[in-house]
Structure 1
Amino acid sequence: MSLEKENIKSGDIIDAQVLKKLYEFVKPYQGRFYFLVFLTIAMAVLAPTRPYFIQIAIDDYVAIGDSKGLLNIIYLLIVLLLLQSLVQFAHTYLSGWIGQVIIKDIRIKLYRHLLKMRLKFFDNTPIGRLVTRNVSDVETLADVFSEGLAAIIGDLLQLITILAVMFYVDWKLTLVSLSTLPLLIISTYIFKEKIKVAFNDVRNAVSNLNSFLQEHITGMNIVQIFNREKREYDKFKEINKEHRVAHVKSVLYYSIYYPVAEIIQAIGTGVVVWYGATGVFDMEIQIGILISFIMYLQLFFRPIRMIADRFNTLQMGVVSSSRILKLLESDDQIPNEGKFKPEKIEGNIKLENVWFAYNDEEWVLKNINFEVKHGETVAMVGATGAGKSSIINLINRFYDINKGKITLDGTDIKEYELGTLRKHIGVVLQDVFLFSDTILNNITLGNPEITREEVMKAAKLVGAKKFIERLPGGLDYNVMERGATLSVGQRQLISFVRAIVYNPEIIILDEATSSVDTETEEMIQKAISKMMKGRTSIVIAHRLSTIQKADKIMVLNQGEIKETGTHESLLELGGYYSKLHQMQLKSMAIG
């Protein structure tokens, strides 16, 4: 098994187009968003107030022994501390809340979008990558709101406010305080670039790990059947190693940067203490100013240390946003512009000069023409790859034709509302998919209009009632993921019940009995006969014995209809169908 690895690169910190599109998700909560902006500004304004009032307390009250004035300053500092704590709490909670409700909306919109995508899109896109988009990328996007843009703006405002106050108090001491700032800026820039690369590697590793795990867990039976455990284990170890190395790199950069930043801050503080103490000795600087500047430096350096990390968070958020928005803006969907919504249909299907290709002009179907009238049963036979299942996909509009026309009751199927079209068609596939849920929910698919009595009536019709009743809980039995606790035949019977309870006017069976034993097949054939009565039916069959009573049999080969007729007339013709029939008789005789 091979899996294409995904390579992600950080984007620009400020991508106006991306941010503009993201703001569309903010609009429903813009009142709270603007309040968050106000809280951000309030935090920046409140940041330098404590050092400033401590300076006043020392120089104006402690120095002259004014205990009453000092007590008033202490009361004021307590109020400011409580106010700052309250604003900090509101800011942290609100930014997190906005981030979570926005990603909830985005994730719902993204999943709704995926539900409308063409099957071709899922054919070409690894499921693990889509899981990454819907989970990891959306989580990263939350950081844009909670730790990214708002936090960066808050940090920058705080820096500007602190600098303004410092210059106001003592511009010479401010310049001395900033003497080590170039060192911190250089180290922060180097850290930002290094951690950006590390974050890219981590995101790539996560995406590739998700894709690998999803694909190989789903295909575990193939891995084990062909004794590929050791090889796939080695491949997983290599991908996991890439993930570990990327994470360790990011940890290494953090472990280097923060001590370096602390040392630079300590040097800056030492310079300020040395210069300020000299000024205090010379009576040029008041002791309160010196103490306040030490506090200013701590407040000033803290957001600078954090800002590099926040920039990378924002960069990765922009990347995730771009990928999510790209997926949301993709138009790889079946157009659902039809307005026709009939409650009932006759079920007359007609294909006229239909050509279809999955890729460019590699034609899977070539000039297909046939008609199935109300109540008729038409069977399709042919070798694997002849185009039988493709016809089924086109009638359901899982794919759209390249040329020609498909009509239902004389109306082009493109004029039908998509949900209405599929509502009138019941499909039973060879590969039955069951969700990790109860048998009841797998049959009704959550439709509250279908009662338990109707389900059991349909189950009795196809002979599934006995085995369902024997299961613990009956209809409430959980079949686990993909129906792992049921046999292939039992899963097939449940798919028949699922098709019948929706009471469609058209029944399509795509080799639906090929996975069951002969005894079960005979039982199902009787049920199918009852189910098809009065309905238009299209049957793709592997065993020719199951379609001998069909009104019409079509033989397909390499995307073309080679023969059409009844079982008897096709045998008399001595062509493709006759050869297929003889081959099956021989294989049965040998068996």
Structure 2
Amino acid sequence: MTTGRRLLAYALLYKKVLSVALIFLMIAVGAELTGPFIGKKMIDDHILGVEKPYVEVNEKTDKTVYYQGNNYIRSDRLNNGMDSGKQINVVQVGFGYYFVNEPIRFDGNRKISGDQLTINNGNERETYEVKRLSKEEIFAFYQPEISGLVQLVLFYLGLLIVAIFFQYGQHYLLQRIANRIIQKMRVDVFEHIQTLPIRYFDNLPAGKVVARITNDTETIRDLYVTVLANFVTSAIYMIGIYIAMFLLNVKLALICLVAVPIIFLWSMTYRKFASVYNHRIRSIISEINAKLNEAIQGMTIIQAFRHEKATQEEFDELNNNHFRYQRKMLHLNSLLSHNLVNLLRNLAYVALIWYFGGASLSATGIVSIGVLYAFVDYLNRLFQPITGIVNQFSRLELARVSSERVFRLLDEPGTEVEEPVQKKLEGHVQFKDVTFAYNEGKNVLKNITFEAKKGQTVALVGHTGSGKSSIMNLLLRFYDIQQGDILIDGESIYDQSRQTLRKQMGIVLQDPYLFSGTIASNVSLGNEDIKRETIESSLKQVGAAELLKHLPEGFDEPVVEKGSTLSSGERQLISFARALAYDPAILILDEATANIDTETEAIIQRALDVVKEGRTTFVIAHRLSTIKKADMILVLEKGEIVERGSHEQLMQQEGLYAQMYELQKGAVANS
């Protein structure tokens, strides 16, 4: 499905409200566009209507004119029952009005000489005796037109009020729909991100993901709020104007219709160049966000190693690239936006002058002042929506590029989040001939086979890069294996949902992550099934109550992002309490005591003896002194298990484990 269709699909989620908004818009446009027609009627029927033929009548009504002892009424207002006499005319020449006491055979070029009116039209020429009207006499002839003019003015005022009401309604509804669409889109993107495999985030900076959720969706919101609303409004406005033009004059309307394909071709030309620039601009913005995120996260290291200047230069390079492409977009917009409108407007006025000028040269083709006024008015109105459309080209193209980026993220294959099956696992874990590679052809685990029974503690040791954390990533199904199988309680983990599997697991990382909130909310992570009593009990079991007693609000103490106001030991204790509160069947400790001082480690070690009771526990440790009581120790080297057994058994083998242990023991003794 194309980007445009997907954007339309989001809009159609609210098609009922959208339909109402479009109906409101059409009513508002229709009411507003009656203005020139009403103006035409006021000019032709009333202001210039005094030049229509009059007939003498005996009756006096509100539509008759009293002049020199006789009553006259316009011939088009003569009722069937009224007796009529001779026909007279009132003509305007220059700024004067003249009474002609006989019918005028044709109209044309008028000229006054004394009391003589001469009318020329081609080879025809007529002369009439006339009398110039005074101001009072002119007003007498206009008197019957006043009520009609007032009615038309009031009618148009009423239409404007209607237009204002429906214009507000359509604007409000379109804005509301736009905000709803973006709300839905952001929810969809955020939900989808949580279904993406961890592999997706390995090589993608967090700042780029954030840019797509915030910057790109905000640009799309601008598309719905401003661009599409403007396009829809302008399109309906233009359709209404063209309908009115065709009703006035078909030939000239066809000439003005040429503007539509010109706009289309111009937009295609614009998109060809703008697409390249906008793709680069959005990409650079993502890189800027990624660089800002990286700099803020690593500010301690930047300042400690005096890396400020180099970081500033890297940021300046990105910022300058962004400025360069924005300048190219500015040049493109300046070239292809306002110049187009000015060109079309001038061409339209040339066509108007040519057409009406030529028509006025022939008696058969002469047009009324009212039609001329209406056409000029409609032409002025026509270029307002054209200007609106052209001015939105840049935003439209930018939004299209942003949409592609967002939809590309949504198209990334994810895993559906399922409701976990309510079952309690025993915690019997088996790895059977497991081989795994993050990148094809580079295995980080090779033929891993071991078994961890319920309640056992299994320790994984080895040098950095030996595959310890990879084993735990596979157990949690952050990644899927290429060969072999992993079983829990005799059932393959690939035969159950990730949510069911992870519901039975708890993990404590070397660098615990805390979210904004409170200490208590970081233990429960907002899970309503975990009661306050369980939270407090978990914190007490890991010894956090004693360590956190200095905090003013205790377990309700606010926590900022990443828990930066707490010590590493306090953050780790909260992370331990989080794992315990979820009561897992399998507990994973990934270097959990690596960054903790000796006093805090002693507190945690005492708590772990209680916590591990009845649970299968996996411990990844560099400090081998912390795993001496493990039921089984697996020694990994280059992705393979090279030794296994208890601490005593491995020491007796005098292999790699014994060598590592003695080295650490000697280092501690020397310190």
Q: TM-score, normalised by structure 2?
A: 0.78
- Note closer, same or farther for the CA distance 1:80–1:498 as it changes in structure 2 (3 Å cut): same
Q: Structure 2 unaligned runs (5+)?
A: 51-141
Aligned to 1:327: 409
Aligned to 1:511: 591
Match among 10, 30, 33 for residue 25 of structure 1: 10
Aligned to 2:398: 316
Distance 2:312 2:459 in 1: 45
Distance 1:234 1:116 in 2: 37
Where 1:545 maps in the other structure, the secondary structure is: helix
- Note closer, same or farther for the CA distance 1:485–1:190 as it changes in structure 2 (3 Å cut): same
In 1, are the aligned partners of 2:31 and 2:163 still within 8 Å (CA)?
yes
Match among 27, 50, 53 for residue 38 of structure 2: 53
**Residues 515-543 of structure 1: per-residue CA shift (max 9 Å, x gap):** 01112112211111111122211111111
AA aligned to 1:305 is T
Where 1:499 maps in the other structure, the secondary structure is: helix
Distance 1:522 1:137 in 2: 49
Distance 1:175 1:547 in 2: 88
Aligned to 1:304: 386
Aligned to 1:242: 321
AA aligned to 1:349 is V
Where 1:358 maps in the other structure, the secondary structure is: strand
Question: C-alpha displacement at 1:22, in angstroms?
Answer: 3.5
AA aligned to 1:533 is E
Where 2:548 maps in the other structure, the secondary structure is: helix
In 2, are the aligned partners of 1:426 and 1:508 still within 8 Å (CA)?
yes
The size of the alignment, in residue pairs, is 574
Q: Structure 1 unaligned runs (5+)?
A: 1-15
- Note closer, same or farther for the CA distance 1:196–1:328 as it changes in structure 2 (3 Å cut): closer
Aligned to 1:4: none
455-464 vs 150-159, which moves further: 150-159
AA aligned to 1:288 is G
Match among 146, 154, 162 for residue 225 of structure 2: 146
Where 2:526 maps in the other structure, the secondary structure is: coil
In 2, are the aligned partners of 1:443 and 1:494 still within 8 Å (CA)?
yes
**Which of these two proteins has the greater Rg computed from alpha carbons?**
2
39-48 vs 122-131, which moves further: 39-48
AA aligned to 1:68 is S
**Residues 364-421 of structure 1: per-residue CA shift (max 9 Å, x gap):** 1111111111111111111011111111111111111111111111111122332222
Where 2:191 maps in the other structure, the secondary structure is: helix
Match among 561, 572, 575 for residue 652 of structure 2: 572
**Residues 490-547 of structure 1: per-residue CA shift (max 9 Å, x gap):** 1111111111111212211111001011121122111111111222111111111111
Task: Tell me, yes or no, if structure 1 residue 155 matches structure 2 residue 214.
Answer: no
In 2, are the aligned partners of 1:43 and 1:158 still within 8 Å (CA)?
no
In 2, are the aligned partners of 1:381 and 1:542 still within 8 Å (CA)?
yes
AA aligned to 1:230 is K
AA aligned to 2:614 is G
In 2, are the aligned partners of 1:347 and 1:506 still within 8 Å (CA)?
yes
Aligned to 1:123: 202
Aligned to 1:478: 558
237-246 vs 130-139, which moves further: 237-246
Where 2:614 maps in the other structure, the secondary structure is: coil
Where 1:470 maps in the other structure, the secondary structure is: coil
In 1, are the aligned partners of 2:282 and 2:402 still within 8 Å (CA)?
no
Aligned to 2:306: 227
Task: Tell me, yes or no, if structure 1 residue 467 matches structure 2 residue 547.
Answer: yes
460-469 vs 178-187, which moves further: 178-187
Distance 2:448 2:421 in 1: 27
AA aligned to 2:197 is R
In 2, are the aligned partners of 1:205 and 1:242 still within 8 Å (CA)?
yes
- Note closer, same or farther for the CA distance 1:313–1:259 as it changes in structure 2 (3 Å cut): closer
In 2, are the aligned partners of 1:340 and 1:415 still within 8 Å (CA)?
no
In 2, are the aligned partners of 1:280 and 1:287 still within 8 Å (CA)?
no
The structure with the largest strand share of the pair is: 2
Where 1:356 maps in the other structure, the secondary structure is: strand
189-198 vs 240-249, which moves further: 189-198
Aligned to 2:670: 590
Where 2:392 maps in the other structure, the secondary structure is: helix
Match among 618, 627, 630 for residue 550 of structure 1: 630
Aligned to 1:12: none
Q: 5 Å matches for 1:63-142?
A: 63=48, 64=50, 65=142, 66-142=145-221
AA aligned to 1:380 is L
Distance 2:261 2:623 in 1: 80
**Residues 68-127 of structure 1: per-residue CA shift (max 9 Å, x gap):** 111111112112212222222222222211111112111111111111111111112222
Task: Tell me, yes or no, if structure 1 residue 289 matches structure 2 residue 274.
Answer: no
Task: Tell me, yes or no, if structure 1 residue 378 matches structure 2 residue 458.
Answer: yes
Distance 1:318 1:93 in 2: 24
Distance 2:405 2:387 in 1: 29
Where 2:439 maps in the other structure, the secondary structure is: coil
Match among 597, 605, 628 for residue 525 of structure 1: 605
- Note closer, same or farther for the CA distance 1:196–1:392 as it changes in structure 2 (3 Å cut): closer
Question: C-alpha displacement at 1:235, in angstroms?
Answer: 1.3
AA aligned to 1:518 is T
Distance 1:541 1:188 in 2: 62
AA aligned to 2:40 is Q
Where 1:528 maps in the other structure, the secondary structure is: helix
- Taking only aligned residues, the RMSD between alpha carbons, in angstroms, comes to 3.0
In 1, are the aligned partners of 2:427 and 2:615 still within 8 Å (CA)?
yes
Q: 5 Å matches for 1:347-358?
A: 347-358=427-438
83-92 vs 566-575, which moves further: 83-92
Distance 2:430 2:256 in 1: 84
% same residue: 37
In 2, are the aligned partners of 1:505 and 1:535 still within 8 Å (CA)?
yes
**Residues 406-462 of structure 1: per-residue CA shift (max 9 Å, x gap):** 111111112233222212111111011111221111111012233333323222222
- Note closer, same or farther for the CA distance 1:534–1:192 as it changes in structure 2 (3 Å cut): closer
In 2, are the aligned partners of 1:511 and 1:542 still within 8 Å (CA)?
yes
In 1, are the aligned partners of 2:435 and 2:483 still within 8 Å (CA)?
yes
Question: C-alpha displacement at 1:246, in angstroms?
Answer: 3.6
- Note closer, same or farther for the CA distance 1:363–1:169 as it changes in structure 2 (3 Å cut): same
Higher relative contact order, structure no. (Cα contacts within 8 Å, ≥ 6 residues apart): 1
- Note closer, same or farther for the CA distance 1:501–1:17 as it changes in structure 2 (3 Å cut): same
Aligned to 2:498: 418
Distance 2:282 2:468 in 1: 42
Q: 5 Å matches for 1:158-177?
A: 158-170=237-249
The structure with the largest helix share of the pair is: 1
Question: C-alpha displacement at 1:362, in angstroms?
Answer: 1.0
- Note closer, same or farther for the CA distance 1:453–1:271 as it changes in structure 2 (3 Å cut): same
Q: 5 Å matches for 1:391-430?
A: 391-430=471-510
186-195 vs 378-387, which moves further: 186-195
Distance 1:196 1:397 in 2: 40
Q: 5 Å matches for 1:450-465?
A: 450-465=530-545
Where 1:223 maps in the other structure, the secondary structure is: helix
**Residues 338-367 of structure 1: per-residue CA shift (max 9 Å, x gap):** x98353221111111111111113111111
Aligned to 1:10: none
In 1, are the aligned partners of 2:510 and 2:590 still within 8 Å (CA)?
yes
- Note closer, same or farther for the CA distance 1:577–1:171 as it changes in structure 2 (3 Å cut): same
In 1, are the aligned partners of 2:337 and 2:390 still within 8 Å (CA)?
no
Distance 2:218 2:496 in 1: 38
In 2, are the aligned partners of 1:555 and 1:562 still within 8 Å (CA)?
yes
Question: C-alpha displacement at 1:336, in angstroms?
Answer: 6.7
- Note closer, same or farther for the CA distance 1:157–1:30 as it changes in structure 2 (3 Å cut): closer
Distance 1:178 1:33 in 2: 28
Question: C-alpha displacement at 1:25, in angstroms?
Answer: 3.0
Distance 2:420 2:571 in 1: 34
